[in-house]
Amino acid sequence: MKWTNLTGLFGAIGLAMMTQTASADMLDDVIAKGELRCGVMLDVPPVGMRDNSNNPIGFDVDFCNDMAAALGVKAVIVETPAPDRIPAILSGRVDVGVASATNSLERAKSVGFSIPYQIWEVGIATAVDNTSINSEADLAGKSVGTVRGTTGEVAFLDVYEKKLKAAGTTYTSYGSNAEQFLALSQGKVDAIVESTTIFGEYLKGAGAGKIKICCSMASAPSDWTGLMVPRLEQGMLNWVNLFVWHQWKNGRTNELYKKWFGYDAPNMSYPGVSSY
């Protein structure tokens, strides 16, 4: 083979490689760029919040950092409040949504969900001196506060429509946890329904001595959340699924649970069915 032919061959390979980059999938893009951009909600302690110097911290932030490390790239935390979660993913402004999103079938029509990485329980909290609410059934005739669009609200609304509404219960749907907690501490509502994880964090901080977790929302199904990628990025989704599995296998998920939530990670496979 002559040298000129060789150059031609290398040229052709080089050209092929360049065109390849143009049609590469997201996983290749992330590795090539050297950074993984995660969409995280930073107004939901302890999964996403800011420390005293207003740097992002929390379960989801750590999870993103781990993922970037596994990819061998730099992690970039992009704050995505609830209404920006989907636009951020659709536009490619973030690569993966690490935003404690419940993996509902309705939502999965819009984005691709990974296997579960967190499971939340829904609970009921009251003022510390409240003795009249001791179970979910005691919410009858009381006023209840929820946060709009959260799993806590969806779980509550289910019971509300079936039983509580007829019993005279009223409910108010607040914009965020900050308003919800303030409403409870001012006595505007008798009880609030929210993920116990979020209660836990509040009890450690500003809510100490003011509120108590009364009971679990027994009728509410536990809330399984997944990481989100664009629906058509199957290659990325495969990798993300395997990553979530490895986080479990090497004990990191449990470690993060202990660090941020203060207890062991629950079993994340559903009895009697494979995968989920």
Partner 1 sequence: MLNYRFQWRAVFKHLPDLVDAAFLTLQITVLSVIIGLAIAVILAVWRRSENAWLFWLTATWVALARNTPALLQIYLFYFGLGAYGIHLSPYAAVLAAITFNNAGYLTEILRGGIDAVNPSQGRAALGLGMTPLQVYARVIFPQVFRAVFLPITNQIIWAMLGTSLGMIIGLQELTGMTTFLQSQTFRPFEFYLAAALIYLVMVETVLVCARLYARWAFRW
Partner 2 sequence: MNNISTTFTANDLLLMLQGAGVTFLLTIVSGIGGTVLGFLIGWGRSLRAPWLYYPLGAYIEIMRAVPLIIQFVLMNSFMAILGYAINPFLSGIISLTLYIAAYVAEVVRAGIDAVPHPMVRAARGLGLGYIQAFRLVVVPLGLKTVLPAWTGLMLGLMKDTSLIAVLGASPPELLRSSQIIITRIQEPLAVLTGAGAFYFIMCWLITLAVRRYEQRPLLQSLGR
Query: Rule CB under 8 A: which residues touch partner 1?
Result: 82-83, 85-87, 90, 104, 106-107, 109-111, 145, 148-149, 153-154, 172-176, 179, 182-183, 186-188
Q: Residue 182, interface with partner 2 (CB under 8 A)?
A: yes
Q: Residue 81, interface with partner 2 (CB under 8 A)?
A: yes
Select 167 or 178, whichever has its Cβ closest to partner 2.
178
To partner 1, the closest distance from the beta carbon of 246 in angstroms equals 27
Of 156, 171, 199, 202, which one interacts with partner 2 (CB under 8 A)? 202
Q: Residue 9, interface with partner 2 (CB under 8 A)?
A: no
To partner 1, the closest distance from the beta carbon of 5 in angstroms equals 39
Burial label, 120 (beta-carbon count in 10 A; 0-12, 13-18, 19+): buried
Distance, C-alpha 195 to centroid of its chain: 12
Name the CA dihedral angle for 200, 201, 205, 211, rounded to a multiple of 10 degrees.
-30
DSSP characters for 172-232?
EEESSHHHHHHHHHTTSSSEEEEEHHHHHHHHHTTTTTTEEEEEE-TTSPPEEEEEEE-TT
Site residues, partner 2 (CB under 8 A): 42-43, 45, 49-54, 79-81, 83-84, 86-88, 90-93, 176-179, 181-182, 202, 204-207, 259-260
